[in-house]
Amino acid sequence: MTDRPPIRFRGRSFLAMVLAPVPPIDQWLAELDALKQRAPAFFAVRAIILDVTGLRFERSDLAHLCEELNRRSITILGIEGIGPTSLGPGFPPPLVGGKPVEDIAPPEPGAATPAEAPAASAHVSAPALVAPPAPPRPRSFVLDAPVRSGQVIQHLDGDVTVLGSVASGAEVIAGGSIHVYGALRGRAIAGAVGDPGARILARKFEPELIAIDGLYKTADDLGGARWGQAVQARLEGDAIVLVPFD
């Protein structure tokens, strides 16, 4: 019998977004539908936690809500606010001990981005009924400070440029391309509202995850390809390719 290494337990930190339903649930689901229509990729490449703290839900009510979210392609990783009791088959597991961080602002029509907030979000407007003949040039968001671990930078109206680095555990989401003048060690999600021409460029490429137009690769998927180099990531068909740049 060959010797096998002992079982190893590893700690790993993931960014998750918490959805907290507000009664009446039918109205909340309608607002969720409107959000998904404005920003179809807002929930892409994210772990979703459902927080039902303070809601008087019967088991059937919770099952119906999970079913409605699943029908909207929103997969729930776990449920918070129901205590340690297992809900049984068909339900996500209960979660306890979550630590709150800064809110992630959803895209709202006409909302402005506070220039002084390092983790602020810029937002898209609701789609017009008649498309204009020439869409306006996407606006860029330039951040002249590094993105720290736990921060989320979201700008769905165009490109995001980070003049510093993006730390491990941080996340940058752009409707267009992402430019990182320092090291990219966190997550970069480009083309988040549907732009296959979006790109991710980093002076030092060491990401936890990259995504373009809904396609993504983790650090494990990327392997050692172009690691630590100046890299441009773009789509070719249904694949993310990495190209060096100077």
C-alpha of 228 from chain center: 23
Q: What is the pLDDT of residues 196-218, one digit of tens each?
A: 999 999 999 999 999 998 888 88
Among 96, 39, 47, 93, residue whose Cα is nearest residue 74:
47
Among 189, 184, 177, residue whose Cα is nearest residue 163:
184
| pLDDT tier for residue 233 given thresholds of 50, 70 and 90 | very high
Radius of gyration over alpha carbons of the chain, in Å? 20
Residue 121 and residue 103 in contact, taking contact as beta carbons nearer than 8 Å:
no
Mean pLDDT, range 43-49, rounded to an integer: 72
**What percent of the chain stands above pLDDT 90?**
30
What is the rounded CA–CA span in Å between residue 225 and residue 210? 13
Q: Check residue 66 and give left, alpha or beta (phi > 0: left; psi -120 to 50: alpha).
A: alpha
CA dihedral 200, 138, 33, 83 (to 10 degrees): 50
pTM tops 0.85, yes or no = no
Half-sphere CA count of 142, side-chain side, radius 13 A: 3
Residues 146-172 as b/e (b if ≥16 CB within 10 A, e otherwise) read: bbeebbbbbbbbbbbbbeebbbbbbbb
| pLDDT tier for residue 98 given thresholds of 50, 70 and 90 | low
Q: What is the pLDDT of residues 109-155, one digit of tens each?
A: 444 333 333 333 333 333 444 444 545 545 789 999 999 998 988 88
Q: Does residue 7 surpass a pLDDT of 80?
A: no
